[in-house]
Structure formats: structure tokens, C-alpha cells
Amino acid sequence: MAETAAAAQRAEPAARPKLSRTWANPLRDERDKRIPHIPGPCSLVIFGVTGDLSRRKLLPAIYDLANRGLLPPGFALVGFARREMADEDFGAEVLAAVKKHARTPFRQEVWDRLAEGIRFVQGSFDDDAAFDNLARTLEDLDARRGTGGNHAFYFAIPPAAFPLVLQQLTKAGLSQGSDEQWRRVVIEKPFGHDLASAQDLNALVNETFPEETVFRIDHYLGKETVQNILALRFANQLLEPIWNAHYVDHVQITMAEDIGLEGRAGYYDGIGAARDVIQNHLLQLLAFTAMEEPVSFDPHQLQAEKVKVLSATKLVEPLDESTARGQYAEGWQGAQHVVGLHEEAGFAPDSRTETYAAITLEVDTRRWAGVPFFLRTGKRLGKRVTEIAVVFKRAPHLPFDATMTEELGQNALVMRIQPDEGITMRFGAKVPGSSMEVRDVNMDFSYGEAFTVASPEAYERLILDVLLGVPSLFPVNEEVELSWRILDPVLDYWAAHGKPEPYESGTWGPRSADEMLHRTGREWRRP
């Protein structure tokens, strides 16, 4: 009997759910979804660590993850840049960025633990010795911090530098993992400037890192409200029966900024609003809005549904009527008078780069056939806002006199992504009084009011997913190339046909954008 009991005890651990090697957290019960995922021992190497993106977003996000207990004890942060600094000097710069930009309160004990794993490697991208030093630094961290040979490389650098850095990582023996050690690469947008360059870039990266280890950062996909699109659609039976062409009249996806170039003329000239925003952010939002329900939220299942949508997405023609572009001119942004694009420092006076872009798309599927998707983005517009507005068809019959409903518009569901994250539903309701008068009202859900926990920054979620090896929120190369296939004909058409139309700063874009919708009997929302 004793031998039987002992054998049962020895067998018991094998019957328990096996923990994922990716998360490597022995305290986590896989059945309890409330406990957050925590990566195993690893390091994050940031190329371009002294740049604005690192100071304002990446370094604060790493501290916030540590402050929330979401980084392993064996975590290490390695900065690589040309500036000559000791580890202590680099640590001081990280500390300054954290204190200035971190979302969560500063705690000395958290910082002290994080600082133990901070290292800096000085060198240029063509310096073989610098990458040899990087390899030695990571080996030392494996020994001293127990990072286990698991390293992610974050390219916060211009795409033109990618080939050289990839070559150097290979030469230094840093790009190849093994069954027990992983290597990953993180790439910031832009993912090329057209289809051909995107294909070249993907081929170049995949020569060094297999596709499953490549993480293309689109920070919009890390926002809580973007992820809530999936929860809203697939956790609620309320919307599914009407989420189709039978009931939806059209969809508007807007990303509006109230700022100008803000000193980024050198980067922005030659890129423009369509490449900068529509090709990545807005087409990804379209995919989340229009996709079919995935079999599960496994990353590959989710990506497969997005690929299907983008494969079915077509431009509405003719392009001279279904697209619009503009450049902001001087005007008033609130109480401040601002200069136009061509007066911005560093911008070429004869530039044809657009600061406003709008296009009309259709998703050629049974669910969405005939429903136009209007995408627009611009700088120096009336308000900073990003939203998805699903506008429904009017009721086929209204048993009211025309005067009773003259102030009644179309029902709409608006998903607000920034800055006031939430969801608004617009519908008709009777005005109080003795007469029957119907008018639009809004029912509003706000994240800030409904939940006491502040939403994490997008980079927190995305960096954590990189370290976990969870690719759900990262576009794969097929999505990137499909997005360029959609946009390239518009860019080619604009390049061959005149200049962008000026629009006054503080307004909602050029007149041609309003005419684009008026031709279809519709109009843009004014958020």
C-alpha cells in the first residue's frame, strides 16, 4: 500500500497542466486568467537608445512594466548608440526619462532592481568591435543576471540602417537562437515606402530572423480601445446580427491631429499622411472592424482573419472622386495663430507631400459588399481624435411626420481610440414635452469612468508581448504587403496628378474631402 501511495505521489506532478516555456512563471496557474503573464529571464537590446522614441516611450514603458511586476527578476536592458557613456551614465539617462515620462509612480526599490541589469555598449553600426563587445555583454548578463541566452533586439533606427545591423548581428553570432534560447527582432514603422520596398525589407529581415521571431510594432494596436474592438464584437451578441451590409450604411475611420510637423519636416517630407498613417494604423483598424470571428484568439488565427479582410479590400474608383489630399495652410489652432506647411522650418516650398489624406475602400465579402469604408487622416485639423464610426442605415419606415424627425440623423456606434477612450452610441429619442419630436442623443461609455485601473500605454503591452513571444498584435509580412497593394495605386495616381489642395489650419481638411463624401450622399462626422 505504501509503495502504491508513493507511486501516486510521484505521478501527480505529471498530471498537472504543463506551464508554457514562453512565460516560464512557476507561480502562475494557467487556469487563472486574472494572473498576468510574466516572461522568463531575458534581455532587451535597444539600437538607437538615445533617440526621442526611446526616451519618451520605450524606456518609460520598461520601467512601468517593472513597476507592475511584469518583468522577470533576471531582466536586463542594454542600450547601443554612438555616444560614449559608462553604464552608470546611461543609467542616469534612463532614470531621467523614467521620471519625466513614466505612467506609474516612481518607486526607488523598483528602480534599484531594474538598474542592476542596465548596460550600455558604445559604437557605430559599422563597428565590428562594438558588436563583439555587445556579444560579450550579453554573455556576461547570461552569467550574472541569468538571462538564459534569450535576447530581443529593438530597431529604434531608420530602415536604411537595417541591413548593416542585421549583418553585424549575424557576424557576431547574436541572431540565431536554439531550442532552449530565443532571439527576436522588433521593427518600428515605416515598413517600406511602397510594395516593392516592403517586400525587399521583409526578405532582408527574414534572411536573419525567421518570420515567427519578427515583431513589427504598430503602437496603435497596443491601445486598450483597439483591443476592445474584439471584445465588443465577439463577446456581445447584441451587435453581431447587425454588423453587416444589411444594416450598416458606411464606416468612417479617422485619425486627426491638431499639431503640425513639430520639427519633423526632415522625416515627413516625402512620406506624407497616407504612408505615415493609412498604410499601417488605419488599415489595421479596418481589419479589426471588418474581420470575421476567429476560431480562437490564438495569434495565428487572429492574423489569418486580418489577412482575409485585407485580401478582400479594394479601392473604390475613379480615384479623382474617391480620394482626397491636402496640405495645411496658415490659420488658427484654437487661440493660436499657426503657420502653414511651407513656412515650417526645413520643408521644401515646392513639396507635394500631403498632410491630409482620405481614401474610399470596399471590402468585397458577403458581409460587407456595397458598404464604403472612408479612411482619413490629417495634421492641423479641428481636434485631436482617433475613432471608428459605424454608421447604420435609416429605418425603412418612420411612422412620424417629417417635422417630428427633422433633427434625427443616422444611428451610429463610435469607438473612440484616443484621447477620450470609450464607446458612444447615437440613436433617436423623444424630446420631453407634449409633442412627438425625435432627436439624436448619445449613450456613452468611458474607460476612465468605468474602470478604476488606468489603461497601460501601448508600448507596455507590445514590449511585454515581444518578451512573451505572443504575436497577436503585430502585423505579419503578408499584412504589410497587402496594405501596400491597396495604397500603392493611390500614391501613384497622386504622384501623376497635380499638387495637394491647401486647407486652413484648424478646419477639417480640404474641400475635396467633403466633396468626396457628398458625391455619395454622405458627410464626414465632426467629432
Measured CA distances, 89 to 92, 100, 115 (Å):
5, 17, 11
Packing angle of the helix pair 283-290, 224-234 (nearest 10 deg): 20
CB 124 within 8 A of CB 130: yes
CA angle in degrees (0–180, nearest 5) for 480-485-489: 140
- Give dist(CA 124, CA 7) in Å, integer: 60
- Opening angle at CA 250, ends 396 and 299, nearest 5: 125
Q: Which residue has the cell 525587399?
A: 200
CB atoms closer than 10 angstroms to residue 14 = 7
**Residues 6+ positions from 439 with CB-CB distance below 8 Å:** 407, 408, 428, 429, 431
Distance CA 494, CA 355 (A): 13
The pairing of strands 76-81 and 43-47 is: parallel
DSSP H or E stretch at residue 231 = helix 224-234
300 is catalytic: no
Question: How long a stretch of residues is the chain?
Answer: 527
Q: Which residues of 393-419 are buried (b: 16+ CB within 10 A; e: fewer)?
A: eeeeeeeeeeebbeebebbbbbbbbee
Structure-block grid coordinates of residue 300: 495565428
| Catalytic, out of 37, 219, 281, 518 | 281
CB-side neighbour CA atoms (13 Å) of 30? 9
What is the rounded distance in angstroms from the CA atom of residue 231 to the CA atom of residue 235?
5
Give the per-residue SS3 of 448-466: HHHCCCCCCCHHHHHHHHH
Q: Please give the Cα distance from 513 to 168 (Å, whole number).
A: 47
Residue that the C-alpha cell 488658427 belongs to: 332
Q: CB–CB of 353/272 below 8 Å?
A: yes
**Residues in contact with 424: Cβ distance below 8 Å, sequence separation at least 6, in sequence order:** 412, 413, 414, 416, 442, 443, 444, 445
Q: Point out the residues that are catalytic.
A: 281
